[in-house]
Structure 1
């Protein structure tokens, strides 16, 4: 297999692949899914063996970081066999990091297995520490189950970063509570601006939008913020809270376009490769994967052709008080 790296038209090296292994989830978060989702038929999903072959091909083309997402990745049947298979790329040194983003609901069950497969850091999506608000925003979720999962993950040795979507009128009043809680547990924390993705019925994205520039202003009332040059292969910009030494991240697709350093692409559970979260351009990789089961050359060529079409950036925009750049697909479809 050729070792020529994946370079997009803007001379960015693509070495980070996010892979959705399922569109299903045991929660129904209001900014991610409609309450009554229609999920994909099983035959359309890549099998675990196909996911292995697909991801291994990307690793062979220079991908160094693999993040497993969903839906909720840990609800997919036998998903641990996939993590165990991917660990061979960590052992060989071809893959630098294997990680996942999870809602935490299954961590109590799988934390030790994840660590054994070579996972060392995970992101847990958690927007509130209030039981009732958590039930409201996830529709189906139970906060104590997630908290037990976080306990199990830390006990297993996993480093946790909490991802909190900033929602006006929902968790504004928990800003300092979340910061303090993460500091007490030695967990990193990243705030994310709500993105205009998916037809979610009555949910008002414009009304939910809480600019992280405003959130930072609130933090400055209590803390001294120092900007950090650190990058972790994702879109977050980081600050240090001098009073606690804590690191906070901000993902701001709307108030700050982070595309100039984008090094990632997203693979759906059906084998569609999205070169940008905020664009509809995609490439069907399932066809070459299935049409040539014994030969990866067609798949490699399809991947390279897709990377050659990667756009310069997205065009999310709330500034004109309408959802310009809104994507009709649900966030769960591409795994965030």
Structure 2
């Protein structure tokens, strides 16, 4: 079957699926503290998510990542993970992965491995319990660290994702390198992105260019450039002193649009064609109109052909609000 390609000749082979917009945290860069959630009636069933994801696999998707919100709070989530694992076992899918805040890993780590998941990303922005509660508003660091240890014990490869926040965790970047190095984890730093309304929180106040983060890291660590890629947007270096990789995701200071191979499916069946644009397509309607996948396949192909060339993320004194109205928690990571 002809692979999915957009009008710029980029092959789309990576699907990120938000299985829920719900989360037990209210991270200050992700959503407002009083953020509401979608009515359950608007959310796709697990069977519908499986069918949609499987259509993408049939159209050449090689990497599938489950996200949220927090994916592991979705009731029945492990049934979906086990079902999608069949594509890994058949060889149709190279990788089934998950991004999580770690709060439920103590319960599900072993099950993820049994289902065919080999690596996960865990969001962790600080190692200070007080700051962790400030950043997440509702989270407990000890529970997340316990979950990360359970994931490691279960045999999962772990990458830590850290959002760089000015005046919040910018004194911990060296500590994060050291902590991850001691435990055999890779680490990725991420710039704040202008997605969704944060209420009275200013992203300009939060934003640190990762060029500045890298320059600070190089005062202590030897960073060796590599050509390592995991299928996502991060550019990696190797830390000579620890032997681990550190990635940088820089949507603002150095975008990665020219090689973008990703689309994102929300839990309502909306296909987001670019993280930083409003362009989207409704897949829930063709999904439910027919039990035959032909209509759905046509809708997917037509949507991907409309994928924009790039995003318009900018945070500066003139533009420091929301570039895209949808919440990160409902976008699919």
User: Match for residue 306 of structure 1?
Assistant: 303
The worse-fitting range, judged by mean Cα deviation, of 7-16 and 183-192 is 7-16
1:216 pairs, out of 214, 217, 221, with 214
2:312 pairs, out of 294, 311, 315, with 315
User: Match for residue 38 of structure 1?
Assistant: 36
Distance in 1 between residues matched to 2:233 and 2:318, nearest whole Å = 24
1:275 aligns with 2:273: yes
1:232 Cα shift? 1.2
The answer as to whether partners of 1:206 and 1:321 remain within 8 angstroms in 2 is no
User: Match for residue 156 of structure 1?
Assistant: 154
Look up the SS of the partner of 2:190 in the other structure. strand
User: Match for residue 195 of structure 1?
Assistant: 193
Distance in 2 between residues matched to 1:85 and 1:177, nearest whole Å = 38
1:187 Cα shift? 0.2
User: Match for residue 178 of structure 1?
Assistant: 176
CA displacement, residues 62-97 of structure 1 (integer Å, 9 cap, x when unaligned): 001000000000000010000010011111100110
1:79 aligns with 2:77: yes
Alignment of 1:29-108 (within 5 A): 29-108=27-106
Distance in 1 between residues matched to 2:149 and 2:321, nearest whole Å = 40
User: Match for residue 226 of structure 2?
Assistant: 228
Structure 2 alignment gaps of length 5 or more = none
**Pairwise CA RMSD:** 1.0
1:231 Cα shift? 1.5
The number of residue pairs the alignment matches comes to 333
The worse-fitting range, judged by mean Cα deviation, of 37-46 and 145-154 is 37-46
The answer as to whether partners of 2:182 and 2:242 remain within 8 angstroms in 1 is no
User: What TM-score do you get using the length of structure 2 for normalisation?
Assistant: 0.98
1:319 Cα shift? 4.5
User: Match for residue 6 of structure 2?
Assistant: 8
Look up the SS of the partner of 2:120 in the other structure. strand
The answer as to whether partners of 2:196 and 2:322 remain within 8 angstroms in 1 is no
The answer as to whether partners of 2:10 and 2:259 remain within 8 angstroms in 1 is yes
CA displacement, residues 251-273 of structure 1 (integer Å, 9 cap, x when unaligned): 00000011111001000000000
1:249 Cα shift? 0.1
The answer as to whether partners of 2:204 and 2:317 remain within 8 angstroms in 1 is no
User: Match for residue 114 of structure 1?
Assistant: 112
Distance in 1 between residues matched to 2:229 and 2:158, nearest whole Å = 17
1:332 aligns with 2:298: no
Distance in 1 between residues matched to 2:260 and 2:247, nearest whole Å = 16
User: What TM-score do you get using the length of structure 1 for normalisation?
Assistant: 0.97
Look up the SS of the partner of 1:172 in the other structure. coil
Following TM superposition, the consecutive aligned residue runs of length 4 or more in structure 1 with deviations greater than 3 angstroms are: none
Look up the SS of the partner of 2:172 in the other structure. helix
